[in-house]
Amino acid sequence: MTTLRDQAAVLMPHLAGYTAHRTIAIGIRQGLIRVLAETPSGLSADKLAAELDLDPFYVATWLRAAYGARVCDRQDGVYWLEPHMGTLLLDTTSPAYVGGVFTVLEQNEMFDRFEQVLSSGERLWWDGCAPGFIVGVAGTGTPFYTRLIPAGLDQIPGLADRLRDGCKILETACGSGRGLVRLAGAYPKCELTGVDGDSHSIANAADILGAEGVRAELITSPLETMEPGEGYTLVVNNISMHECRDIDEVTRRSKDALESGGWFVISDFPFPGDDAGLREVPGRIMSGIQFFEAQIGDQLLPREEYDELLARHGFTELGWFQLTPMHAVTYGRKP
């Protein structure tokens, strides 16, 4: 029989996890983790506080919590980051980067607004989100691109050679353009087009592409009404397919844009399709993402639904693979 003590043991780790999350987010925003990463030999609370012009007593409080969360180690009052924490929490170029998730989950658009509109069910769309939130989400999506381009795309039979030889690539839901920059770097002979329904994101993309010296056509349009032209060898969508208002219409238009034999690649969160998966750590994190997804009128999808989607629209040579527990790629070819 389940006892009161048993159920208390379920809840206590949640409180510990919340404390660790807030500790990490503070450390990222205030530069504490950055300074520790830059000083592998370690710092005392007083020296860390002096580096950032912060209160030493408060910094000591933060350090103890960071030690408890296993972000830091310590000896004789000196603290340093545990191995790989700097990469995981700070290095936006690493495929393992997760630091942005800690700060994005604390923004108003996630849980706070959800609670505020819980009774009304008032929806939101990207053009109603704060610019800082959009930038933050783009940052959390960056490691998905890092994993996908080129290593993920290289796993799709026959695609890599076509991309390296030069062809047309369409990125749907291109957001702030980080994927286009990476595509340009990996496949310099390709002609790039990006489509996104949010004008603010397209404006950001234009700035980023300009700064990086990348040439790409940018189109502001909902994916359900996009008309990007034809003859693309690759249409790719990264962590946005689940947000489509009409996923079948988007798939139809993506297929129309492809040349015969072209590939449609969906890179997305593999939301658990069963109860057991929902209670595992990746499923619990993705359940948190659902609080924002609900506000824009959608939910993450089990990966298997993309198999059904592509088959429904006549794609062939279907396949899929998993890059991390929270990142899966599904693909098919236009006959």
DSSP element (H, E) containing 33:
helix 32-38
pTM for the full model? 0.91
H or E segment to which residue 122 belongs: none
- Separation in Å, CA 27 to CA 24, 38, 142: 5, 14, 21
How far apart (Å, rounded) are the C-alpha atoms in residues 332 and 314? 9
Indicate the DSSP class of residue 148: I
Diameter over CA atoms, the chain: 66
Rounded to whole angstroms, the Cα distance separating 153 from 162 reads: 11
Query: Same CATH topology for 4-90 and 111-333?
Result: no
Length of the chain: 335
Counts of helices then strands in the chain (DSSP H, E): 15, 9
Question: Do you find a cis peptide bond into 143, omega within 30 degrees of 0?
Answer: no
The CATH T-level fold of domain 4-90 is Arc Repressor Mutant, subunit A (1.10.10)
Q: Pull the structure tokens for residue 268.
A: 């997305």
List pLDDT tens digits, range 197-223. Answer: 988 889 989 999 999 999 999 999 999
The candidate with the shortest Cα–Cα distance to 300, out of 284, 281, 287, is 287
What are the pLDDT digits (tens) for 224-257? 999 999 999 999 999 999 999 999 999 999 999 9
> Where along the chain do its domains lie?
4-90, 111-333
Q: What is the rounded average pLDDT of the residues 265-270? A: 98
Q: What is the CATH number of domain 111-333?
A: 3.40.50.150
**Euclidean distance between CA atoms 96 and 324, whole angstroms:** 9
What's residue 131's pLDDT? 87
pLDDT tens-digit series, residues 296-326: 999 999 999 999 999 999 999 999 999 999 9
**pLDDT mean over 11-36:** 97
